[in-house]
């Protein structure tokens, strides 16, 4: 992909009378990520989305509601516009194919092709699918149903206008072969090439007689016809540049598009119809058409009839805009199909966002608040641990992240960012700043650790910006940094050490609160069903066992005991006894609910290295999941937690 000069990115224009679903949100969020990424890197960017408003379905729906089609469209358009606002989509323009200026451009192009004799009138007879608004040939139609939507087709015979698409077959094959990034991913490119090399490309019917469909753009050379909806719709990518950019004079410089993002089902219309239309109009072809995969829901096709359509509005309201954006792009490699489940989303949010990045931010700010009067300290001497983190952050910002985003490997870019989050959390566990804070002689080292934690968070805020714009700005604001990511970021802000000592932090509410899967009506986070209040799993203490039977060594060896460092602790509301702990086992983090609240204040627990039963089935205590059990001495009343005096890495086995 070009990495300099202007950047023009588009989404498909969505059918106005569709209810916005996760598929629409997916493409639009992905396009937004690329637009934000390139704006931040200083490329002049134009990001276009919009609505496809003509065609039979709109005409029928309007008739059913007893209103004219334009009023119908005007009523429906805000459902998309409002969703994009809610999802923080930074589109530069919003096109509607009923815009008068768009219609003029379509008519101008039609006239141009007609004048060049690239459009001709002919008889046509074929199988027509009203739902898909397209003809099928005899061999496509098995048992009288549409091969796409499986609805009945009808035999139609009519005069229509045709675009000489077939004559561009060789030119198109040649273009695809010469430009290996024109159709992506590679597998889709091969599919299109395979089809073009084995089947004769026919001409394209680009009109519909008004007697059958009147809601469309009238043909400039025959007022008895309107334009086929796809011919009209595809032109939006060029027509928008004529009248929508804020500075009209630069609009045309954006063509050709750098990326058309589309779903796999509409690749042919883009790769074949649109490309040949552009060839006929002597316009350059887009640099890349990228076809992403489809979402199923809990393993099933998403459809209104199944009642499993995922509403992006609801997802954003319930889980947060950034968490939803993160999930969409983290879960599935862009280009492949993926499955959506609430359980999957909650697990991701809790493990990556709440326990990972959110926790790193909250402990950094808490420690700076408590030990440095809320001011970023001057770093003391740094050692190998700090250098390792610095290097990880720098190579993330300069190499790994650009490489993955530029390849549209969103999931890998997020994986790379979260690798650094994990390294940072491990650094905190190892350096144990809460212990350093206890000794005056460690004051210098404490400052080094806290500065490093805050600086890594500043770097992470830049890295996450394109996917999670609001969270990135929040991290900055809480660190007291005034970077404005909607504009180009000066290159030196990606250098290590930009965070100014002396800056006052502003700790705010938790960035990503943990989500309780029960209150969200989701399936349990774990695969195996867990009892809601199993007394045996109440992680308070190991009960004394006066008359308990003896066990064999093999039985005992089944219990996995491990050391864990307490990262954060808070009381469970309405419980005297329960404290919710986030603990680190080195390579993973867990949440444990322990009945130690009568003995300990949460603050006194942070930083302690304790012993836990690591292979206990998760259980719920007062509706909160506990992923293990803390060992403590005492019977009904806890007398003391088992802690480790020596420096032992979290996650070490205890025998």
| Residue (17 or 371) nearer to ligand MSP, CB | 17
Tokens read off for 357: 């990045």
| Residue (301 or 398) nearer to ligand MSP, CB | 301
Of 209-217, 258-266, 443-451, 643-651: span binding ligand MSP (CB under 6 A): 258-266
Rounded least distance, CB 52 to ligand MSP, Å: 3
**Total Cβ atoms within 10 A of residue 182:** 19
302 sits near ligand MSP (criterion: CB under 6 A): yes
Q: Which of 121, 294, 347, 524 binds ligand MSP (CB under 6 A)?
A: 294
Place of tokens 């498909």: 12
Nearest to 640 by CA among 616, 604, 613, 607: 604
Of 20-28, 67-75, 108-116, 559-567: span binding ligand MSP (CB under 6 A): 20-28
Rounded least distance, CB 339 to ligand MSP, Å: 10
Tell me which DSSP letter residue 559 carries.
Answer: S
18 sits near ligand MSP (criterion: CB under 6 A): yes
265 sits near ligand MSP (criterion: CB under 6 A): yes
14 sits near ligand MSP (criterion: CB under 6 A): yes
- SS3 for 406? helix
Give the span between the Cα atoms of 324 and 25, in whole angstroms: 10
Q: Do 46 and 92 touch, CB atoms closer than 8 A?
A: yes
| E-assigned strand segments in 242-284 | 259-263
| Residue (134 or 577) nearer to ligand MSP, CB | 134
262 sits near ligand MSP (criterion: CB under 6 A): yes
Q: How many residues bind ligand MSP (CB under 6 A)?
A: 20
Tokens read off for 84: 């994009």
267 sits near ligand MSP (criterion: CB under 6 A): no
408 sits near ligand MSP (criterion: CB under 6 A): no
Q: Which of 147, 209, 256, 263 binds ligand MSP (CB under 6 A)?
A: 263
Q: How far is CA 340 from CA 24, 86, 198, 261, 337, in A?
A: 14, 20, 36, 20, 10
25 sits near ligand MSP (criterion: CB under 6 A): no
Subset of 154-173 contacting ligand MSP (CB under 6 A): none
Dihedral of CA atoms 366, 371, 374, 379 in degrees, nearest 10, equals: -110
Of 18-26, 189-197, 213-221, 458-466: span binding ligand MSP (CB under 6 A): 18-26
| Residue (75 or 430) nearer to ligand MSP, CB | 75
> How many helices and strands, by DSSP H and E, does the chain display?
22, 26
52 sits near ligand MSP (criterion: CB under 6 A): yes
Rounded least distance, CB 22 to ligand MSP, Å: 6
- SS3 for 249? helix
Nearest to 467 by CA among 315, 310, 321, 311: 321
| Residue (10 or 448) nearer to ligand MSP, CB | 10
Rounded least distance, CB 169 to ligand MSP, Å: 22
| Residue (24 or 458) nearer to ligand MSP, CB | 24
Nearest to 275 by CA among 390, 347, 353, 192: 192
| Residue (234 or 437) nearer to ligand MSP, CB | 234
Phi, psi at residue 370, to the nearest 5°? -75, -35
295 sits near ligand MSP (criterion: CB under 6 A): yes
Q: Which of 7, 23, 46, 590 binds ligand MSP (CB under 6 A)?
A: 23
Rg (CA), the chain: 30
**Total Cβ atoms within 10 A of residue 39:** 22
Query: Under 8 Å CB-to-CB from 391, ≥6 apart: which residues?
Result: none
| Residue (229 or 593) nearer to ligand MSP, CB | 229
Subset of 223-252 contacting ligand MSP (CB under 6 A): 233-234, 236
Of 10-18, 121-129, 166-174, 524-532: span binding ligand MSP (CB under 6 A): 10-18
| Residue (162 or 334) nearer to ligand MSP, CB | 334
Rounded least distance, CB 96 to ligand MSP, Å: 12
Of 12-20, 69-77, 136-144, 490-498: span binding ligand MSP (CB under 6 A): 12-20
3-state helix, strand, coil in the chain (%, to 5): 45, 20, 35
Give the span between the Cα atoms of 327 and 357, in whole angstroms: 14
| Residue (170 or 265) nearer to ligand MSP, CB | 265
Q: How far is CA 211 from CA 81, 207, 224, 231, in A?
A: 33, 12, 8, 19
Q: Which of 7, 8, 9, 26 binds ligand MSP (CB under 6 A)?
A: 26
| Residue (114 or 334) nearer to ligand MSP, CB | 334
**Total Cβ atoms within 10 A of residue 582:** 23
Residue positions counted in the chain: 655
Binding site for ligand MSP (CB under 6 A): 12-15, 18, 23-24, 26-27, 52, 233-234, 236, 262-263, 265-266, 294-295, 302
């Amino acid at each position: 992909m070009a990495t300099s000069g202007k950047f023009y990115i588009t989404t498909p224009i969505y059918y106005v009378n569709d209810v916005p679903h996760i598929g629409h949100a997916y493409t639009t969020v992905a396009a937004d990520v690329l637009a934000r990424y390139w704006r931040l890197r200083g490329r002049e960017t134009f990001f276009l989305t919009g609505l496809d408003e003509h065609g039979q379905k709109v005409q029928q729906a309007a008739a059913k509601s007893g209103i004219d089609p334009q009023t119908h469209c005007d009523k429906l358009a805000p459902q998309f516009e409002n969703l994009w606002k809610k999802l923080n989509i930074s589109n530069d323009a919003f096109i509607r194919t009923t815009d008068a200026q768009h219609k003029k451009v379509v008519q101008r192009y039609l006239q141009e092709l007609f004048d060049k004799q690239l459009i001709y009138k002919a008889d046509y007879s074929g199988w027509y699918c009203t739902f898909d608004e397209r003809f099928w040939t005899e061999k496509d139609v098995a048992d009288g149903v549409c091969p796409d939507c499986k609805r009945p087709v009808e035999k139609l015979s009519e005069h229509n206008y045709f675009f000489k698409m077939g004559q561009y077959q060789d030119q198109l094959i040649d273009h695809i072969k010469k430009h290996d990034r024109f159709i992506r991913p590679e597998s889709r490119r091969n599919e299109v090439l395979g089809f073009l090399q084995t089947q004769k490309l026919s001409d394209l019917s680009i009109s519909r007689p008004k007697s059958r469909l009147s809601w469309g753009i009238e043909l400039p050379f025959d007022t008895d016809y309107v334009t086929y909806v796809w011919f009209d719709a595809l032109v939006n990518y060029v027509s928008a540049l004529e009248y929508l950019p804020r500075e009209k004079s630069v609009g045309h410089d954006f063509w050709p598009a750098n990326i058309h993002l589309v779903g796999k089902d509409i690749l042919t219309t883009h790769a074949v119809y649109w490309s040949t239309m552009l060839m006929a109009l002597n316009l350059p072809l887009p640099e890349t058409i990228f076809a992403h995969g489809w979402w199923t829901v809990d393993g099933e096709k998403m459809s209104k009839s199944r009642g499993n359509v995922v509403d992006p509005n609801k997802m954003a309201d319930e889980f947060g805009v950034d968490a939803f954006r993160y999930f969409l792009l983290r879960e599935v490699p862009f280009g492949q199909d993926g499955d959506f489940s609430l359980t999957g989303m909650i697990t991701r949010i809790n493990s990556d966002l709440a326990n990972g990045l959110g926790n790193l931010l909250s402990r950094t700010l808490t420690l700076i608040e408590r030990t440095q009067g809320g001011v970023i300290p001057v770093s003391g001497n740094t050692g190998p641990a700090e250098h390792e983190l610095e290097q990880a952050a720098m190579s993330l910002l300069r190499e790994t992240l650009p490489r993955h985003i530029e390849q549209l490997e969103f999931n890998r870019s997020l994986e790379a960012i979260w690798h650094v989050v994990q390294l940072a959390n491990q650094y905190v566990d190892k350096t144990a700043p809460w212990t350093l804070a206890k000794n005056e002689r460690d004051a210098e080292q404490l400052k080094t650790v806290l500065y490093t934690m805050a600086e890594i968070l500043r770097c992470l805020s830049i890295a996450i910006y394109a996917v999670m714009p609001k969270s990135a700005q929040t991290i900055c604001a809480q660190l007291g940094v005034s970077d404005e990511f909607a504009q180009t970021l000066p290159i030196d802000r990606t250098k290590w050490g930009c965070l100014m000592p002396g800056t006052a932090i502003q700790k705010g509410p938790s960035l990503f609160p943990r989500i309780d899967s029960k209150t969200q009506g989701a399936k349990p986070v774990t695969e195996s069903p867990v009892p809601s209040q199993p007394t045996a799993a109440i992680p308070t203490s190991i009960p004394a066992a006066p008359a308990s039977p003896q066990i064999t060594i093999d039985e005992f060896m089944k219990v996995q005991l491990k050391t864990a460092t307490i990262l954060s602790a808070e009381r469970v509301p309405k419980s005297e006894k329960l404290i919710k702990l986030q603990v680190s086992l080195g390579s993973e983090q867990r949440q444990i609910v322990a009945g130690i609240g009568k003995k300990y204040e949460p603050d006194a627990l942070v930083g302690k290295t304790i012993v836990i039963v690591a292979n206990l089935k998760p259980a719920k205590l007062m509706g909160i999941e506990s992923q293990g059990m803390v060992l403590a001495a005492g019977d009904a009343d806890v007398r003391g937690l088992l802690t480790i005096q020596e420096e032992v890495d979290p996650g070490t086995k205890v025998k």
